[in-house]
């Protein structure tokens, strides 16, 4: 196994991605505002072996309030899959997610209306991701981003 990462999964839902990452050895924090989905994630987590359960922390909360839950730079990876389309003003959410990322790492946000991953690189000394200007969003070429999906093109 490679480097163990600290992962924040905003909108963890039933915990599918969080559990996959924990099984791969990563420390995962799942943040979910919907009590029903959070309970589904807790139920799925309860069925996992103890070693996996120790690597997952589930928190009830809103992704727009990351400052209330986490310190700046607390995570190596932030996932925010299937959340942005439900947020009327995503800029504060994205800024909050960028704040909790360790310097010079990547975040991944995915929206059902977008056909590719939207990958933004948070650079040292900045507070928000630098998104490529194309529509639909695409992974920037030559950015050094390690979270680009297979087959993504700029």
Stated pTM of the model: 0.71
pLDDT of residue 105: 55
Question: Most distant CA pair in the chain: distance in Å?
Answer: 44
CATH 3.40.50.150 fits 6-121, yes or no: yes
pLDDT, one tens digit for every residue, the chain (154 residues): 578 899 999 999 999 999 999 999 999 999 999 999 999 999 999 999 999 999 999 999 988 888 888 999 899 888 888 888 888 888 888 888 888 888 755 555 544 433 333 444 443 444 444 444 433 333 333 333 444 333 333 3
The residue to which tokens 């960028």 are assigned: 98
CA distance 83 to 70: 19
Q: Respond yes or no on whether the N-terminal peptide bond of residue 18 is cis (omega within 30° of 0).
A: no
Query: DSSP H helical segments within the chain, as ranges?
Result: 16-23, 35-46, 50-54, 66-69, 90-100
């Amino acid at each position: 196994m490679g480097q163990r990462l600290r992962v924040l999964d905003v909108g963890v839902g039933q915990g599918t991605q969080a559990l996959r990452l924990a099984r791969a050895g990563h420390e995962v924090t799942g943040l979910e505002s919907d009590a029903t989905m959070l309970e589904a994630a807790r139920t799925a987590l309860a069925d996992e072996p103890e070693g996996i359960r120790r690597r997952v922390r589930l928190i009830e909360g809103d992704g727009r309030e990351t400052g209330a839950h986490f310190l700046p730079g607390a995570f190596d990876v932030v996932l925010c899959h299937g959340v942005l389309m439900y947020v009327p003003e995503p800029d504060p959410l994205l800024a909050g997610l960028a704040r909790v990322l360790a310097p010079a790492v990547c975040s991944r946000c995915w929206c059902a209306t977008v056909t590719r991953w939207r990958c933004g690189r948070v650079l040292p000394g900045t507070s928000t991701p630098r998104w490529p200007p194309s529509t639909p969003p695409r992974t920037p070429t030559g950015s050094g981003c390690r979270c680009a999906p297979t087959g993504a093109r700029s």
